[in-house]
Amino acid sequence: MAAPMSGVGEASAERSSFNATSFQKKTRSRLISIPGTRPSVQNGQLLVSTGVTSLDYLLGGGLAVGTVLLIEEDRYDSYSRMILKYFLAEGVVCRHELFVAAAQDNPDDILQELPAPILDDVAIHKPVEQPRLSCEPQDSMDAMKIAWRYQNLPKVQSALASSSRFGHYYDVSKTMEPEIRQAAKCHRFYLPEHPTQSSPTHSTMLESYSALLKSLQDVIHREGFDVAAPMTKSRNILRIGLHSLGSALWGDDLCCHDNPNNVHALTSFLYGLRALLRSSLSVAVVTVPSHLIQDRALMGSITRLCDNAIALESFKGSERETNPLYKDYHGLLHVRQVPHLNCLASKLPDHKDLAFKLKRKQFSIEPVGAEGRVLMDLCEEQSESLERRGEA
């Protein structure tokens, strides 16, 4: 009777050890450890930072890997271009790979304009001198505290020492040093350097968009960003920046006619782009000149084909530029859409009235004050009543 009992004990021990191992796999194996990323506290999705901490907060903690952020450009493409550069600069600091596509400006010119990172934990510390003897014991104690504080710090730290952090700050008044920028691997797509060829088969996608999507597919499969690819090396994130899609420079006529011929060209591209990102460790930021697209229904379809969507309304050249209610801001930010990933309902921003401003060194997004909003509503009501009286 002893043998069967021992066999049962061994089997139960093996079963308990197997259960413990399977339990560890469920909690550990699905979490991918990549610098510059963190799991979402809401749905467990892997997040990356946009480079603007206030925008990360609005989007629920950051951009989810495998999603698309749509930015509706302001009229002069100043602030939308700046957010795109923030997004790419964050990728450089986090050692992510970049893919930059443009039709007007060369991607190298965009990369040379990336803002310089503000790394507060980077410093060159000089050797601490011995504190001089003082007649007052309090002065000597303060000197000893300072010496003890710095004695364990290294003398020289790397320029990318804080790349393991999630989200950084940048100085828009300075450009990134070439040594830091050139350390990142970047893939470029400049439309004039990719001559398009007319395809014999009928397709709703333009040749320029087809060439761009084909280039993205090649980079994702060749560099190992595909989730199904074998893990031959450490995983990394591919940050994709696509500038001013839908403009005439891409061969699209969405912004030129009320009834464009290529009405489904951009939507077909976004559909293929999102399908490609869903199965890869990639995240994309796309800017579109929505103020030039007359068809609002088409713009709604473009928005729904992206996961996140924000719109920038600049005060430059408008009446609000001289309005005292907006003297502290440079424009309004509208959240068009937030993603529904692994959850039934997404987290909406706490404030719907958002404004952005460009300080001397930093771009930030803030909620408009309640008093200012009330005054703005009153002004709009007064202007509407005046218009009604004039019509009467």
Mean local confidence (pLDDT), 195-203:
56
Which of the two residues, 20 and 320, has the higher pLDDT score? 320
> What residues have CB less than 8 Å from 307, skipping those under 6 apart?
64, 67, 68, 69, 274, 337, 339, 341
Query: Does pLDDT of 201 surpass 80?
Result: no
Half-sphere exposure at residue 189, Cβ-oriented, CA atoms within 13 angstroms: 24
For the chain, percent of residues with pLDDT exceeding 90? 49
Residue ranges of the alpha helices (H) in the chain? 2-28, 53-58, 79-93, 107-112, 137-150, 178-182, 207-222, 265-278, 296-304, 370-391
Q: Classify residue 199 as exposed, middle or buried by CB count within 10 Å of its CB (0-12, 13-18, 19+).
A: exposed
**Residues 54, 260 contacting (CB under 8 angstroms):** no
Model pLDDT, residue 55? 93
Q: Angle between the 296-304 and 265-278 helix axes, to the nearest 10 degrees?
A: 10
Q: Where are the domains of the chain?
A: 37-118+165-391
Instruction: State the burial class of residue 128 (Cβ atoms within 10 Å of its Cβ: 0-12, 13-18, 19+).
Output: middle
Quick one: DSSP state of residue 384? H
- pLDDT score of 197: 60
Q: Which CATH superfamily is domain 37-118+165-391 in?
A: P-loop containing nucleotide triphosphate hydrolases (3.40.50.300)
Is the pLDDT at 362 greater than 80? The verdict is yes
Q: What is the pLDDT of residue 137?
A: 52
E-assigned strand segments in 119-260: 169-175, 186-190, 238-242
Query: In whole angstroms, what separates CA 362 from the centre of its chain?
Result: 16
Q: What is the pLDDT of residue 120?
A: 60
Who wins on pLDDT, 260 or 57? 57
The pTM (predicted TM-score) of the whole model is: 0.76
pLDDT at 155 over 70: no
Amino acid code (one letter) for 384: E
Q: Is the pLDDT of residue 191 over 80?
A: yes
Report residue 22's pLDDT band, with 50, 70 and 90 as the boundaries: low
pLDDT range class, residue 142, cuts 50, 70, 90: low
Residue type, 321: E
Residue with more model confidence, 156 or 180:
180
pLDDT of 28 above 50: no
Tell me the pLDDT band of 391, cut-offs 50, 70 and 90.
low
Least confident of 14-28, 102-116, 227-241, 308-322: 14-28
Helical spans, DSSP H, in 120-226: 137-150, 178-182, 207-222
Q: In what order do the strands lie in the sheet with 63-64?
A: 37-39, 46-48, 63-64
Query: Helices 265-278 and 207-222 meet at what angle, rounded to 10?
Result: 10
pLDDT for res 375: 45
Q: Quote the tokens at residue 361.
A: 């060194």
Identify residue 72 by its one-letter amino acid code.
Answer: E
> Is the alpha carbon torsion for 350, 162, 66, 248 positive or negative?
positive
Q: What is the structure's pLDDT at 157? A: 32
pLDDT band per the 50, 70, 90 thresholds, residue 85: very high
Q: pLDDT tens digit string along 248-306?
A: 999 998 887 777 788 899 999 999 999 999 999 999 999 999 999 988 899 999 999 99
